[in-house]
Amino acid sequence: MIKFKKFYVTTGIDYVNAPPHVGHAYEKICADIIARWHRLKGENVFFLTGTDEHGEKVEEAAKISGKEPEEFVEEITSTFKETWKILNISYDDFIRTTEKRHEEIVAKLVKKNFDNGDVYKGEYEGWFCVPCETFWTELQLKNGKCPTCGRKVQKLKEEAYFFKLSKYQEKLLNFYEKNPEFLSPSFRANEIINRVKAGLKDICITRSSKWGVPFPIDNRFTIYVWVDALVNYISALDWPEEKFKKFWPADLHLIGKEINWFHTVIWPAILFSAGIEPPKKVFCHGWLTAEKQKISKSLGNVIDPVYLAKKYSTDSLRYFLVKEIPFGEDGDFSENSLIARINGELVADLGNLVYRVLSLAEKFDGEIEGKVELEKKLDLRKIEESMEKLELHNALNGIWNFIRATNKYVNEKEPWKLKGKELGEVIYNLLEALRVIAILVSPSLPSSAEKINQQLGVKAGLLKDCKFKKFEGKIKKGEYLFRKVE
């Protein structure tokens, strides 16, 4: 029996205090491309996303809307699911933190932390930002306000339970040293390492709010939403049952840089306490900005990804977001830049290539075969290396190099001047190039890849099929893949 390599990839789960914006879409699209790539490799992929439905921020948003929290989160979560459907996000599971399966495992994990002596009762006093669900010290505040969103903070003092984060300082530092890939991209590692070296304080893990998972030790409290949320990565795997054993540890947690601390310090410490291995890699992508400002609901400058997908096509939006921004860095969204990418790379490079090749092939009634010429123009190893390094933009550059080389081949061979065997050989190379291109673009442009395969009359291939062979398709030219935006 063949045992397939597993690949477990997760995104951050999204707060449901408002509908999704293009910043949420960016993360999910990137995770989807990574998941689809590993499926192309023939791996057993489990791709998880979901929604974070507890906490004071959600409770407050429900109150403002005049709804009970249960009704409010149901409506917003359905909006997230519909958005990911439109954006062609191929997740394998969608976890909600209000689900019974999740809440039971959160309580079980926190109880294990308590039984292992890592949770104790105390009193909390500090500054709390409701929109960010985050506590800050006096030194971390900027002009007396939240350093992340710039909103006012509240001074809180209450009885609470704490997790002994300070106990795990040395263990975390040793873990980082032995697992350098864990903190990714590498330029973000020093910030976390230096903060941990500076000393860790125990963290408050309970709240008096009733909208949350009941704290298993003392029912007067609920579990802090950030502890609750992090557990989704193992609750979706039914920890500690068979699915957990099959897919854990996660191969990749993909998150925004603003939640790096929770995922690379608090989360592994909680796992250490429970005797669970940490994930292999936490990769922080940058912020998507609009006119150089972070796109966020709290700042009120959101851009609707559904509007963009319907106006320009889902594949166009997916391509733009990945190609425009070096993965891991911040990037600025511009509709003009999106249009330029559509007209230049999608229409002129890929769309025109597919249309002109299929137009030639459809009219040709001879043998489609001959010497392999174009395959050597494909640097598959470089594309694979870029994907393994999570350099998604560079992987697309490598694919586009092959697309442009194929266009150049058409121009150099001038097939409109050829006949018979010579023409058959050129068409053979071009059709096989399109078949391989469809495989390579399928993670980023899944709908377009499907259309190319339909027009070629071939089945979708895997990465191992990116080699020229006998062309066995049946041409049925369809419409242009992309339309020029005026």
In a domain, 367, yes or no: yes
- The DSSP element (H or E) to which 435 belongs, if any, is helix 420-441
Cβ atoms within 10 Å, residue 121: 12
The type of residue at 342 is I
Cross-strand pairs, 204: 162
| Residue 139: per-residue pLDDT | 74
**CATH assignment of the domain containing 440:** 1.10.730.10
Angle subtended at Cα 353 by Cα 449 and Cα 318, rounded to the nearest 5 degrees: 40
In a domain, 357, yes or no: yes
| Residue 123: per-residue pLDDT | 87
| Residue 337: per-residue pLDDT | 93
Cβ atoms within 10 Å, residue 88: 18
SS3 content of the chain, % helix, strand, coil (to 5): 50, 15, 35
In a domain, 303, yes or no: no
In a domain, 228, yes or no: no
Alpha carbon distance 240, 80 (integer Å): 28
| Residue 129: per-residue pLDDT | 85
Task: Print burial letters for 211-237: b (CB count within 10 Å at least 16), e (below 16).
Answer: bbbebbbeeebbbbbbbbbbbbbbbbb
Taking the mean position of all CA atoms in its chain, how far away is CA 423? 44
- Please report where in the chains the tokens 């998880």 appear, as a residue: 48
Query: Average pLDDT of each block of 10 consecutive residues along the chain (486 residues)?
Result: 81 92 94 98 98 90 91 96 98 98 98 98 84 76 86 85 98 98 96 97 91 95 96 98 98 96 98 98 91 65 89 97 94 91 97 96 94 97 98 98 98 95 97 98 98 98 97 93 94
In a domain, 285, yes or no: no
Pick the closest to residue 407 from 344, 468, 449, 462 (CA basis).
344
Number of domains in the chain: 1
Q: Which residues contact 198 (CB under 8 A, 6 or more apart)?
A: none
Pick the closest to residue 341 from 369, 370, 306, 315 (CA basis).
315
Domain that holds residue 356: 342-465
In a domain, 399, yes or no: yes
| Residue 299: per-residue pLDDT | 62
In a domain, 373, yes or no: yes
| Tokens standing for residue 105 | 């495992």
In a domain, 261, yes or no: no
Q: Are 129 and 153 in contact (CB under 8 A)?
A: yes
Alpha carbon distance 45, 31 (integer Å): 12
